[in-house]
Structure 1
Amino acid sequence: MTQPHDNGIRAVPRLTLVTSPGCHFCQDAHSVLAEFAGRGLVELGTVDAESSEGLALVETHRPAMFPLVLLDGRFFSNGRLPRRKLAHVLGVDRAGH
């Protein structure tokens, strides 16, 4: 997870979204995470599961379904995005406040 900088300010969490073509859970997760990124709550990167980076992440984390979501490089979820869990981890309500 995120670590504080020397000045006591927490770094913005980095979320990596590994997606598969035609995946409606992927589209939903991207929509939610893009909104959080737009508010400066997270830094968001998207990786196609069929790319070389995506294949390596899938092999490492072995998601049961897509999307695969990593938080600061660690497994966070796969399949439907757990909004309540995400809000808790980010320290915001589910609307992103």
Structure 2
Amino acid sequence: MTTSDAMPPPGTPTAVTVVHSQACHFCDDALDALAELGSRHALEVSVVEIDSPLGATLVAVHRPAMNPLVLVDGAFFSSGRLPRRKLARLLEAREAALATAGR
């Protein structure tokens, strides 16, 4: 989401897409991390298999160096091992901005 985009209403979950590959330990680790973060933040996690048509399209568009490809609200966030602290900071900042906008 860019600053020119309209802010979603407070309480709107953050959409996280994980492009998952079979036998990918970073992919499984990302899903575990998102489950943990989901206990503290409103997340809507979608898992897309890399060999599906959508997965192939997302990989072609974002060209990740490693798996998994992770998108937050449709924008590239990371590839490879999920940076948990970076994602937590992003979620906290997003929630603070939504709370401020909702006042």
Structure 1 length as normaliser, TM-score? 0.82
Equivalences, count: 89
Residue correspondence of structure 1 range 42-57 to structure 2 within 5 A: 42-57=43-58
**Which entry has the higher C-alpha Rg, 1 or 2?**
2
Q: Any stretches of 5+ residues in structure 1 without a counterpart?
A: 93-97
Q: Which amino acid aligns with 1:15?
A: V
The percent of aligned pairs where both chains have the same amino acid is 51
Contact 2:37 2:88 in 1 (8 A): no
Equivalent-residue separation in structure 2 for 1:15 and 1:55 (angstroms): 17
Structure 2 length as normaliser, TM-score? 0.78
Q: Any stretches of 5+ residues in structure 2 without a counterpart?
A: 94-103
- Relative to its length, the structure with more helix (as a share) is 2
Structure 2 residue matching 1:44: 3-state secondary structure:
strand
| Runs of 4+ residues over 4 Å off in structure 1 | none
Aligned to 2:72: 71
